[in-house]
C-alpha cells in the first residue's frame, strides 16, 4: 500500500529506494534494482494479482511483502455468494470442489450472459469482484457513515487477509523466489480513532450518564489528571466499546508517565476504531504465524520502530500520520531490511564500515530531489 509507496511523498524517499542505495554501497559487484509496487490504498486482495504478474513476467530474485493497513477500505463482494443464505452457502462450500458442480455453474453463468445478465465470478478461490481502481468508502462524501461496529465483518476481512497472504507465500514458493514479510507500523500515541461508536445495547439513561462522566473527566484534564483518569475509567465501565475514551485515557496515562498502562489503552483504542485504517492485532498475529509456519524472514516494523522511538508507544516522532513513516523512518526500515538480507546471505559485504559512505549517498539523493519535492 501507500506505506510502501512512500506517501505523503513518493517512491523516491520510500524504504525500497533506500534499500537499493544501501546495497549499491555495500555490494557494488552487483547491479541492484528494487521495484516499488506500492499502490495507494492497495490491500492484500489486490497484491495477489500484482504478485502473479511480477512472478510471471519479470523474474524477480526476491519479493518483499508489506501489507495490512488497507483491508477495510473497500467493500468486497462475491456476486451471489455474499448474499446467499447460510444453508445455501454451506452446500456451495461442500460442492465447490466437485468438477460437475463447477461445470454446471459455468454453464448457468453463460446462460445468464446470453440473457443479458452479469455473470457471477466463480472460481475455487472465490475471486472478489473489484473495480480496476480502488473504490474506497472514504473517497465519498460522508464516507465514514458507511462504517459501523460489525465484528462478523471484521472476522471475515481478517480471514480473507490471512488467505491472501498464504496465497502469496505459495506463489513465491512455487516460483522458487524468496519472500520476506514485513508487518507495517502504526501510530498509537498521536492518532485517535477515526470513528467511535457506542455499544448497541446502551440505554438512553446509560448514555446520559456516560456523557456526564466524560464531561466531568474533560473538565479535569489539565487541573487534576489523576481524577480525570478515574472518571474516564468509569466511562469505560459504562461503555467499553467507545474507542475515543480509551485513547483519551491512554493520552492522560502517557502524560503521567504510566507508559505501559498507556500503551495498553492506546492499542485498545486502535482495535475499537470503527474505521480501521491501521492494521489490527489479529492481522499482525496472522503475519507472524504465517512467517513462522513457512520459515520466512520476518520483521515487525512496528516493534522495530517502537524500540527506536523516544516513547514506549510509537507516534509522530517517526510517523507523519496514522500509518505512514517519515523519511527518516523509511531510512531506518531500509537499514533493518538490509541487515536481514545480510543475515540471509543474499548480500556479500566486506567487514568495512559503510555507514559514513551510506549517509553521504543518502544526503546526495535527498539534495537531488529539490525543494519542490518536499513542499
Beta pairing partners, 180: 64
For residues 189 and 167, what is the distance between their CA atoms, to the nearest angstrom? 33
Tell me what pLDDT residue 139 has.
Answer: 61
pLDDT band at 110 (very low <50, low <70, confident <90, very high): very low
Omega prior to 8 cis, within 30 of 0:
yes
Q: What is the pLDDT of residue 108?
A: 43
- Which one is predicted more confidently, 112 or 62? 62
Among candidate residues 132, 249, 131, the one with its CA nearest the CA of residue 193: 249
Mean pLDDT, rounded, of the chain:
86
What are the pLDDT digits (tens) for 165-190? 999 999 999 999 999 999 999 999 99
Predicted confidence at residue 57, as pLDDT, reads 95
Q: Which residue has the higher pLDDT, 301 or 92?
A: 301
**Mean per-residue pLDDT for 61-79?**
81
Q: In 3D, which of 293, 44, 327, 249 has the Cα closest to residue 164?
A: 44
Residues 304-323: what's their mean pLDDT?
94
pTM of the model: 0.83
Please give the residue that has the higher pLDDT: either 145 or 300: 300
pLDDT band at 357 (very low <50, low <70, confident <90, very high): confident
Strand ranges inside 125-241, DSSP E: 179-183
Least confident of 107-116, 128-137, 342-351: 107-116
> Exposed, middle or buried by CB within 10 Å (0-12, 13-18, 19+), for 99?
exposed
pLDDT-based confidence at residue 77 (cuts at 50, 70, 90) = very low
Banded pLDDT at 21 (limits 50, 70, 90): very high
A 10 A CB-CB count for 368 gives 9
- Residue 265 Cα distances to 143, 202, 341, angstroms: 27, 21, 35
pLDDT of 265 > 90? The answer is: yes
Using DSSP bridges, classify how beta strands 298-300 and 179-183 pair: parallel, antiparallel or unpaired.
Answer: parallel
- Considering only CA atoms, which of 149, 191, 207 is closest in space to residue 215? 207
Average of pLDDT values for 121-139?
54
Is the separation of the CB atoms in 245 and 214 below 8 Å?
yes
Residue 124: per-residue pLDDT: 41
Pick 230 or 85 by higher pLDDT: 230
pLDDT value at position 205? Answer: 97
pLDDT at 179: 97
* pLDDT confidence tier of residue 128, bands split at 50, 70 and 90: low
pLDDT at position 109: 44
Question: In the structure, what pLDDT confidence band is assigned to residue 86 with cuts at 50, 70 and 90?
Answer: very low
Task: Look at residue 356 in the predicted model and tell me its pLDDT.
Answer: 84
Q: Is the pLDDT at 111 greater than 60, yes or no?
A: no
- Beta pairing class for 63-66 and 179-183: parallel
Q: What pLDDT is recorded for position 145?
A: 83
Percentage, residues of the chain above pLDDT 70? 81
Tell me the mean pLDDT in the region 303-308.
95
311 class by beta-carbon count within 10 Å (0-12 exposed, 13-18 middle, 19+ buried): middle
Q: Are 47 and 161 in contact (CB under 8 A)?
A: no
Give pLDDT tens digits for 240-262: 999 999 999 999 999 999 999 99
Least confident of 109-118, 124-133, 144-153, 194-203: 109-118
Spatial CA neighbour of 67 closest among 284, 296, 308: 284
Closest Cα to residue 273, out of 311, 306, 303, 247? 247
Amino acid at each position: 500500500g501507500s506505506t510502501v509507496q512512500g506517501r505523503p511523498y513518493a517512491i523516491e524517499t520510500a524504504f525500497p529506494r533506500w534499500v537499493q542505495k544501501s546495497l549499491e554501497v555495500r555490494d557494488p559487484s552487483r547491479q541492484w534494482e528494487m521495484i516499488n509496487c506500492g499502490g495507494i490504498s492497495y490491500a492484500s486482495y489486490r497484491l495477489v494479482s500484482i504478485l502473479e504478474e511480477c512472478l510471471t513476467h519479470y523474474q524477480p530474485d526476491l519479493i518483499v511483502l508489506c501489507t495490512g493497513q488497507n483491508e477495510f477500505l473497500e467493500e468486497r463482494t462475491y456476486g451471489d455468494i455474499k448474499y446467499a443464505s447460510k444453508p445455501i452457502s454451506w452446500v456451495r462450500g461442500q460442492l465447490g470442489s466437485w468438477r460437475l458442480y463447477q461445470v454446471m455453474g459455468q454453464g448457468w453463468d453463460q446462460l445468464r450472459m446470453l440473457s443479458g445478465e452479469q455473470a457471477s465470478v466463480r472460481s475455487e478461490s472465490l475471486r472478489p469482484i473489484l473495480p480496476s481502481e480502488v473504490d474506497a468508502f472514504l473517497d465519498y462524501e460522508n464516507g465514514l457513515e458507511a462504517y459501523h461496529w460489525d465484528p462478523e465483518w471484521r472476522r471475515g476481512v481478517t480471514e480473507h487477509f490471512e488467505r491472501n497472504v498464504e496465497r502469496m507465500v505459495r506463489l513465491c514458493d512455487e516460483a522458487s523466489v524468496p519472500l520476506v514479510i514485513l508487518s507495517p507500523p502504526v501510530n498509537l500515541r498521536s492518532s485517535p480513532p477515526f470513528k467511535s461508536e457506542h455499544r448497541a445495547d446502551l440505554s438512553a439513561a446509560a448514555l446520559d450518564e456516560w456523557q456526564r462522566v466524560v464531561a466531568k473527566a474533560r473538565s479535569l484534564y489539565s487541573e487534576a489528571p489523576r481524577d480525570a483518569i478515574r472518571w474516564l475509567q468509569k466511562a469505560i465501565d459504562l461503555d467499553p466499546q467507545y474507542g475515543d475514551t480509551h485513547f483519551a485515557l491512554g493520552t492522560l496515562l502517557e502524560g503521567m508517565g504510566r507508559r505501559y498502562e498507556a500503551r495498553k489503552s492506546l492499542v485498545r483504542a486502535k482495535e475499537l476504531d470503527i474505521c480501521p485504517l491501521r492494521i489490527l492485532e489479529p492481522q499482525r498475529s496472522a503475519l507472524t504465524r504465517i512467517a513462522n509456519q513457512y520459515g520466512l524472514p520476518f520483521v515487525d516494523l512496528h516493534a522495530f520502530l517502537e524500540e527506536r522511538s523516544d516513547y514506549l508507544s510509537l507516534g509522530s516522532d517517526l510517523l507523519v500520520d496514522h500509518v505512514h513513516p517519515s523519511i527518516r523512518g523509511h531510512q531506518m526500515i531500509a537499514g533493518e531490511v538490509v541487515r536481514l538480507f545480510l543475515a540471509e546471505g543474499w548480500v556479500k559485504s566486506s567487514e568495512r564500515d559503510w555507514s559514513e559512505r551510506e549517509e553521504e549517498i543518502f544526503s546526495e539523493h535527498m539534495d537531488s530531489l529539490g525543494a519542490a519535492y518536499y513542499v
